[in-house]
Structure 1
């Protein structure tokens, strides 16, 4: 299944289309939104188009994917994105235009996506957040994810040292499973108390 349309009380979660380039640009150009994202802010509609082609068009050509535009039901225009990667990490990630922050939108979208990937048989999802981005960790907890460990990484392409917290949610009953790739790759890794 590839990015089936989902609806929540306030939201439509759907595939991005080439008609959404202006909305994608608005999401990607904001430096505050971009602070904790692994790419630089978009500087043009052309940047947004490349992002769409590389991140979404390519994804939608695969047999299974979860790469959603977060849209308000009132106008069906993307205000953010939410995704679960189909590599071994099953990384759960999201971003939202700042004028929509602090309204529970990402948590609402996240719960719908988590329900869908659970129904579709993914064994688990993981997510990471910069320790300075506490609200992102709050979303992870609100969708049912559990903190597993922290690790340091020289973050690319921005090239600065970041301490990440890794969260995981297992769906297949294997409550002991922990995705250890980041732990294994990092020279400095540890478990924090009271996260």
Structure 2
């Protein structure tokens, strides 16, 4: 596969990813409805991010053709939230795991200390991707997810990329009045 930046020429492919209900079921935003929305989404979530000196927002493309089929993103706030999405016809092929491993290696080289990732408990397959990437479960918490306005229980996973292997990102824990550790994991 190829990891690269999205370009303006990729807006139709971005729309194919972000408009699919199945792909976006467990994401906080509603699926995109029009190409105009996809253009705006590209401008605010990709073009602006690419203007910063450091950023991790990649299009996942197959080597056979340089057309985006998914994405891997890492936020640069204190959560270093690791997120991904893939068109459903490419699910269950190890593509996100392979892309994620490449991004994690770049993060290590760049000195990013850790990454976190969360998944809705109703979406355990996303948690399996996190585990395959070497992330470990830390805790669960509830959040009223916006703009969908639905109560979600999340599982938070973390991978420390530096020598501080005992570090646990606490913000989600402290911001939620309902949080717990599942012992059976």
| Alignment partner of 2:177 out of 187, 190, 193 | 187
Cα distance in 1 for residues equivalent to 2:122 and 2:143: 14
Instruction: Say which SS state the counterpart of residue 87 (structure 1) adopts.
Output: coil
Any unmatched runs of 5+ in structure 2? none
How far apart are 1:194 and its partner, in Å?
2.4
Instruction: Say which SS state the counterpart of residue 129 (structure 1) adopts.
Output: strand
| Alignment partner of 1:28 out of 8, 18, 22 | 18
Give the equivalent residue in structure 2 for 1:106. Answer: 96
Instruction: Say which SS state the counterpart of residue 58 (structure 2) adopts.
Output: strand
Which aligned segments of 4 or more residues in structure 1 are displaced greater than 6 angstroms? none
Q: What are the Cα deviations for residues 110-138 of structure 1, in whole angstroms up to 9, with x where unaligned? A: 11111110111000000000011111001
Q: What are the Cα deviations for residues 40-82 of structure 1, in whole angstroms up to 9, with x where unaligned? A: 0111111111111110011101111000000000001000110
| Alignment partner of 2:118 out of 128, 133, 136 | 128
Instruction: Say which SS state the counterpart of residue 52 (structure 2) adopts.
Output: coil
Instruction: Say which SS state the counterpart of residue 29 (structure 2) adopts.
Output: coil
Cα distance in 2 for residues equivalent to 1:151 and 1:89: 15
In the TM superposition, 1:57-136 aligns within 5 A as 57-136=47-126
Between the two proteins, the alignment pairs up a number of residues equal to 185
Q: Please report the TM-score for the alignment, with normalisation by the length of structure 1.
A: 0.94
| Alignment partner of 1:45 out of 30, 35, 53 | 35
Cα distance in 1 for residues equivalent to 2:57 and 2:37: 18
